[in-house]
Chain A
């Protein structure tokens, strides 16, 4: 898969070939789902947002000019929709519309105690990431979890590479401080 392939599929789609769009979804569904899931830990909510990313992409693909690659374009949609969902959830939480949902520990082969420790650690890190300022959160998720190159993040977030590294540095530092505070 490369940028040229994506552009070819987009051209096909613009000519009316719906299958071309399906191929793009199949190609990027996992990546998009996981980037959304890093922002929104609940699978069901992340699933809704991830699907919505492709629905939005479908509706806007005709105006895609190809100035950036498809994947940075679709990642930008994913990041924006995820942050919108977080904001929406915060508002709903203020007005107590939603019940608090907790993440159930994932099944695995670990010893129960170890499993619990890992689940606790995961929750602690997730909480710390959630508390990061929006910009730092975006940079941290795209760099640490998605392992995107800085150049691509720079296109997605429209920020210089130097600025991204500074944000990443502060994000990591803050996560460290928050974990330290949580552990007492």
Chain B
């Protein structure tokens, strides 16, 4: 008798559904094997504990209101327009996702190419920068002033230079309020670039 058969027979034995022949075989095993005997005792103990368990109760008249409640929910659900997923949709998910990924990659490639239509994006960001406080900030920046505090380049160019650098450094932040704060967002090469711009527009 293998383990699986033994488990099956023990359950049948406890439930009283075991056939005569199998019962004799199991009883022989129970006499010979202390381990099997122990297992049987444990199972019988559990059933004995379970039989002492108090029955659950339900509120009075619960089942008389059950059907009306079900009918109410059914009628309510009939009124709702249910969103049904078309059967062809799941099969389209993978190709659809692949298509989106490819489009995204093409879009990034296009965006990173200089001199094409993606530069329009830079223009839009630049416009947004201009419309905010950037011209005021640019005018106040000491980098664009001579020793007498006078602007060394016109305000439009100042804004242009500053906007370019801010865009390039990803430091567009509406909370930037001073040139010091802007400078802290730029690295040395970007500051160098701004300084290089100054003599050429002077």
Chain A interface (Cβ within 8 Å of chain B)? 22, 25-26, 29-30, 33-34, 37, 41, 43, 47, 50-52, 54-55, 58-59, 106-108, 118-119, 121-122, 125, 144, 162, 165-166, 168-170, 172-173, 175-176, 179
Contacts and interface: CB of A to CB of B under 8 A. Distances in A.
Contact of B74 (A55, A162, A172, A175): A55
Contact of A168 (B11, B66, B73, B74): B11
B50 interface: yes
DSSP class of B's interface residues: helix, strand, loop or mixed? helix
A105 to B, nearest CB: 8
- Nearest 6 CB-CB pairings of A with B: A169-B7, A176-B46, A118-B54, A165-B8, A54-B70, A29-B66
Interface in B1-43: 4, 7-8, 10-12, 39, 42-43
A108 B43 CA distance: 29
10 contacts: A29-B67, A52-B73, A106-B54, A108-B54, A118-B52, A121-B49, A125-B50, A162-B4, A173-B43, A176-B45
Contacts of A175: 46, 50
Contacts of A108: 54
B56 interface: yes
B43 A169 contact: yes
DSSP class of A's interface residues: helix, strand, loop or mixed? helix
Contact of A26 (B43, B50, B67): B67
Contacts of B49: 121, 125, 176, 179
A176 B70 contact: no
Given A108-B54, A168-B11, A173-B43, A43 B59 contact: yes
B41 to A, nearest CB: 10
Contacts of A33: 58, 63, 66
Contacts, number: 87
B70 A173 contact: no
Residue among A41, A54, A108, A162 with max Cβ neighbours from chain B (10 Å): A54
Contacts of B11: 165, 168-169, 172
Given A122-B54, A172-B46, A51 B69 contact: yes
Contacts of A125: 49-50, 53
Contacts of B66: 25, 29, 33, 50-51
Interface string B68-87: 01110110010000000000
A51 B77 CA distance: 13
A166 B56 contact: no
A122 B58 contact: no
B181 interface: no
A81 to B, nearest CB: 13
Contacts of B62: 47
Contacts of A59: 77
A125 to B, nearest CB: 6
